[in-house]
Structure 1
Amino acid sequence: MKRLEALALTAAAATGVQVGAAMVATRLVVHEIGPASLAFLRYAIAVLCLVPPVFMSARVRFAARDLLVVMVLGIVQFGVLIALLNLGLQFISSTRAALLFATFPMMTMIIAASLGRELLTRTKAAGVVLTIVGVGVALGERLITRNADGEWLGALLVLAAALCGAVCSVLYRPYLSRYPTLPIGAWAMLASVLFLGAPAGAEGLFTGGLHLDTAGWLAVLFIGLSSGIGYVLWLWALKHASPTKVTVFLSLSPITAALLGVWIFREPFTSGVLLGLVGVVAGLWLVTRTTPALE
């Protein structure tokens, strides 16, 4: 069991890195394409990665009510969450968005404890807070740079996106214990693509076309392909570890974004990034050594 949980936390860590990389790529194209259109393309590409599981899901007998809940969770996590996040990135920098989105684990911990799904301990809470502080230290002075009008609106949109993800992370667990991971992921993503079709169409995706250069298309393809793989890993991690332990690894996403900034954009590697990384790692250690979730 400990080995299985360790593998689950490794999958969660991989997802945290993927989210950070996708956030950087999103920032590159979000002003060239509408937020709903980008979300639609993101998960349409991801669904194509999961075509075999979609066909395999025909062999899995979902209770009608369970399938409906899974699809609603998919719409919230992939449709509503990503649309809110992409819209928020139009008003605030990816750096600030990453820090705000890092509150995801804290929201998850509070919701899971409120529903009796996990034990809320001081050590776990301290670990979650330490990861958020680590993220803040890593992002450093970029957080105090002034942005354009709509800054508060952008912050609220990103926080709302984090709340959507936290709720879904807790509510997925019962269904992951009943059904295989891949069919759940395929149905959830498919539901989100169908949901996002309407707002994407309203933005002119299907009539006006896209005017992206090669780099833009590569960014979109990367976001979609990595999201498909990342979500399967995410669900598998939630199946075998508590929601807080899994979601706390999202603190790796802004660290990843910062390190990618150093590598790709030649941004300075400051002592704050190093100290922030140490803080995040320490926080992860505290959270993952705590009492398992209630079953």
Structure 2
Amino acid sequence: MVRQSHLDTRAVALLLLCCVLWGINQVAVKAALTEIGPLWQAGLRSVVAGLLVWLWAASRGIRLFERDGSLGGGLLAGALFAAEFACIFIGLQYTSASRMVVFLYLSPFVVALCMPLIAHGEQLAARQWAGLLLAFGAVAFAFAEGFSSPHSATQWWGDALGVAAAVLWAGTTLAIRGTRLSSALAEKTLLYQLGVSALALCAAAVFAGEPLPAHWSPRLLGLFGFQAVIVSFVSYLVWFWLIRHYSATKLAVFTLSTPLFGLVAGALLLGEGISTRLVMALAALAVGIVLVNR
């Protein structure tokens, strides 16, 4: 398939819509934590989204269960995906959604740093090393704020889980790139992640003794439905469609807007304060991503 080298109006509109949804997603997760535990929330979200992906593939005649040598990579990517979302959902109990979304965007830099280990042709230039150093410095700058905040006893723990989630997200990307998943269908790759994480996270919730909600309020149903249907199913399929039809490098630059939307959503919907230090860290991250992508 020939990819378009320029982003047309449709691509830009769809991409910005995805970034808005991804930015709001952390806010929805944190808001729902008042009614459902983090592990059940993450696990059941994967259950619903996985079923929707399977139904979507079946309706379009996409064969997901043929042997193609991707099982090992799929199980690895799914395990990393499960661990990533466990860190995010548990971490949001201790830190703000605004801070979490900024720490998550350390992931592209971890990918850039580690990619030469599995793809020897992708060596980093001096400008990219400068972008990496700037990004890691920005994250350290934002992380240090957690030790001096009024909630420093717990916020630094949530921030640390956000950084761990970013590393695990990068690990998932590297697992997909470095295994047979790199040639698998996008729907199959997504189903591996959702299926394995659904089993692992629900089992972890049972093991941890996390109670299921006795009553699903309209508020909880709305927050959960947004995460499972709109974000985990619809937006991911739109993203895969965009990757198939447009330049991945140009698409990646637009994802810079996701942390910004996350900051705004946290402030407007949860009343979270946005510090000058956090805005400065976000700006440095944006510059770092541009340097790395160039």
TM-score normalized by structure 2? Answer: 0.75
Residue 193 (str. 1) matches residue 226 (str. 2): no
- Corresponding residue for residue 93 of structure 2: 90
Alpha-carbon RMSD across the aligned residues, in angstroms, is: 4.0
Cα distance in 1 between the residues matched to 2:134 and 2:76: 32
Structure 1 contact 95–143 (Cα < 8 Å) conserved: no
- CA deviations over 1:233-284 (Å, ceiling 9, x no partner): 4556677767x88777654332111222454457789998988776666555
C-alpha separation between the residues in 1 aligned to 2:62 and 2:278?
A: 43
Distance across 2 between alignment mates of 1:156 and 1:269: 18
| Contact preservation (8 Å) 1:97, 1:155 | yes
Distance 1:38-1:12 versus aligned 2 partners, 3 A rule = same
**1:253 equivalent among 243, 249, 258:** 258
For 1:203 and 1:210, locate their aligned partners in 2 and report how far apart those are by CA, in whole Å.
17
Name which of 198, 215, 222 aligns with 2:219: 215
2:149 to 145, 151, 154: 145
Answer with 21-30 or 278-287: which moved more.
278-287
Cα drift, residue 104 of structure 1: 1.1
Aligned match of 2:75: 71
Contact 1:70–1:188 at 8 Å: present in 2 too? yes
**Aligned residue identity for 1:183:** K
Show the counterpart of 1:51.
54
Q: What residue number does 1:160 align with?
A: 164
Q: Report Cα offsets for 1:115-164 as digits up to 9, x if no partner.
A: 3352312333444566678899999x899633152333323322221111
Matched, 1:230 2:235: yes
**Equivalent-residue separation in structure 2 for 1:83 and 1:26 (angstroms):** 12
Return 5+ residue gaps in structure 1 as ranges: 291-295
Q: Letter of the aligned partner of 2:192 in structure 1?
A: W
Contact 1:53 1:183 in 2 (8 A): no
Distance change (3 Å), C-alpha of 1:159 and 1:131: closer
Does the Cα contact within 8 Å between 2:97 and 2:266 map onto a contact in 1?
A: no
The DSSP-based 3-state class of the residue aligned with 2:150 is coil
The answer for the alignment partner of 2:29 in structure 1 is: 26
Q: Is the 8 A contact 1:22 1:223 kept in 2?
A: yes
Aligned AA for 1:193?
A: A
Tell me which amino acid in the other structure corresponds to 1:66.
Answer: S
Aligned-residue sequence identity (percent) comes to 22
Shift of 1:175: 3.5
Question: Taking structure 1 as reference, are residues 2 and 137 closer, same or farther at Cα in structure 2, changes over 3 Å only?
Answer: farther
Superposition map of 1:165-176 within 5 A:
165-173=169-177, 174-176=179-181
Which consecutive unaligned segments of at least 5 residues does structure 2 have?
A: none
Aligned mate of 1:36, from 24, 35, 39: 39
Query: Shift of residue 204 of structure 1?
Result: 5.5
2:15 touches 2:254 (CA, 8 Å); kept in 1? yes
SS in 2 for 1:119: coil
- Pairs aligned (count): 284
Q: 1:241 to 1:70 in 2, by over 3 A?
A: farther
